[in-house]
Structure 1
Amino acid sequence: MSIEILMNVTPHETRVAVVENGVLQEVIIERERRRGLVGNIYKGKVSRVLPGMQAAFIDIGLDRAAFLHASDIAQAGEAETHSDNITHLLREGQEVLVQVIKDPLGTKGARLTTHITVPSRFLVFTPEVFHAGVSLKIEDELERRRLKDVMSVLMHGAAGGYIARTAAEGVPIAALRADTEFLNKLWESISERSAAARAGEIVHEDLPLVMRILRDVVDGEVEKLRIDSRRATRRVSQFAEQFMPELAARVEHYPGERPIFDLYGVEDEIQKALERKVHLKSGGYLIIDQTEAMTTIDVNTGAFVGHRNLEETIFKTNLEATQTIARQLRLRNLGGIIIIDFIDMIEEEHKRQVLRSLQKNLERDRAKSHITEVSTLGLVEMTRKRTRESLEHVLCEPCPVCSGRGTQKTPETVCFEIFREILREARQFDAQQYLVLASQEVVDILLDEESTSIAELEEFIGKPIKLQVESLYSQEHFDVVMM
Structure 2
Amino acid sequence: MSAELLINSTPSETRVAMIEGGVLQEVHIEREARRGIVGNIYKGRVSRVLPGMQAAFVDIGLEKAAFLHASDIVPHTECVAENEKQQFKVRDISELVRQGQDIVVQVVKDPLGTKGARLTTDITLPSRYLVFMPGASHVGVSQRIESEKERNRLKRIVAPYCSESGGFIIRTAAEGADEKELAQDAAFLERLWEKVMVRRSKYITRSTLYGELGLAPRILRDFVGTELSLIQVDSRMVFESLLEFTEEFVPELMSKLVLYDGDKPIFDLYDAESEIQRSLDRKVNLKSGGSLIIDQTEAMTTVDINTGAFVGRRNLEETIFNTNLEATEAIARQLRLRNLGGIIIIDFIDMSSDEHRKRVLASLDAALSNDRVKTNINGFTQLGLVEMTRKRTRESIEHVLCSDCPSCEGRGAVKTVETVCYEVLREITRVNRAYDADRFLVYASLAVADALQGEESHALAELELFIGKEVKITAEPLYVQEQFDVVMM
Band the TM-score falls in, shorter-chain normalisation: 0.7 to 0.9
- Confirm or deny: 8 A CA contact 1:330 1:365 kept in the other structure: yes
Q: Please say if 1:22 is aligned against 2:30.
A: no
Structure-2 separation of matches of 1:294 and 1:476: 28
Aligned to 1:154: 161
Conserved in 2, the CA contact under 8 Å of 1:122 and 1:168?
no
Matches within 5 A, 1:9-48: 9-35=9-35
Partner residue of 1:411 out of 417, 427, 436: 417
Residue 341 of structure 1: CA displacement?
0.7
Structure 2 letter corresponding to 1:4: E
Unaligned runs of 5+ in 1: 44-60, 62-72, 84-88, 91-95, 104-112
Give 2:138's match in structure 1, choosing from 97, 110, 130. 130
- In terms of mean alpha carbon deviation, does 409-418 or 29-38 score higher? 29-38
Q: Determine if contact 2:157/2:179 at 8 Å carries over to the other structure.
A: no
Q: Name whichever of 119-128 and 312-321 sits farther off.
A: 119-128
CA-to-aligned-CA distance 1:162-186 (integer Å, 9 cap, x gap) = 659688744898x788546425536
Paired residue type of 1:455: A
Deviation at 1:8, TM superposition (A): 0.5
The one-letter code sitting in structure 2 at the alignment partner of 1:289 is D
Q: CA deviation at 1:362?
A: 1.0
2:139 is matched by which residue type in structure 1? H
Match of 1:8 in 2: 8
Letter in 2 for 1:16: V
Cα distance in 2, alignment partners of residues 203 and 259 from structure 1: 35
Q: Aligned-pair distance for 1:314?
A: 1.0
Identity of paired residues, percent? 54
Q: Do residues 227 (structure 1) and 233 (structure 2) align?
A: yes
AA partner of residue 425 (structure 1): V
Moved more, 368-377 or 237-246: 237-246
Q: Please state how far the C-alpha of 1:158 moved relative to its aligned partner.
A: 3.7
Confirm or deny: 8 A CA contact 1:290 1:296 kept in the other structure: yes
Q: Does 1:393 align with 2:402?
A: no
Q: Residue 132 of structure 1 contacts residue 152 of structure 1 at CA under 8 Å; is this kept in 2?
A: no
Query: Deviations 1:137-188 (Å, cap 9, x if unpaired)?
Result: 9xxx9xx98x977744432424323659688744898x78854642553686
Q: Is residue 126 of structure 2 the alignment partner of residue 119 of structure 1?
A: yes
Alpha-carbon RMSD = 4.0
Question: What's the counterpart of residue 371 of structure 1?
Answer: 377
SS at match of 1:264: helix
Q: Does 1:293 align with 2:313?
A: no
Label 1:294 to 1:121 Cα distance change in 2 as closer, same or farther (>3 A).
Answer: closer
- Pair 1:217 & 2:223 matched: yes
1:346 aligns with 2:352: yes
Aligned equivalents of 1:407 and 1:37: distance in 2?
A: 39
Aligned counterpart, 2:247: 241
3-state SS in 2 of match to 1:404: coil
After superposition, the C-alpha distances for 1:195-222 in whole angstroms (9 at most, x for unaligned) are x99xxxx996421111111110254521
d(CA) in 1 for partners of 2:461, 2:483: 22
Q: Which position in structure 1 is the counterpart of 2:100?
A: none
Counterparts of 1:295 and 1:424, CA distance in 2: 41
- Aligned AA for 1:283? G
Question: What 5-or-longer segments of structure 2 have no aligned partner?
Answer: 45-63, 65-75, 91-104, 111-119
Deviation at 1:452, TM superposition (A): 1.7
Give me the whole-angstrom Cα distance separating, in 1, the residues matched to 2:333 and 2:252: 29
Partner amino acid for 2:12? H
1:402, distance to aligned residue in structure 2 (A): 0.6
* Residues in 2 aligned to 1:396 and 1:457: alpha-carbon distance in whole angstroms: 42
Contact persistence 1:285–1:300 (CA under 8 A): yes
Q: 2:476 aligns with which of 451, 465, 470?
A: 470
Counterpart code for 2:217: M
Give, in angstroms, the shift of residue 317 of structure 1: 0.8
8 Å CA contact 1:287, 1:297 repeated in 2: yes
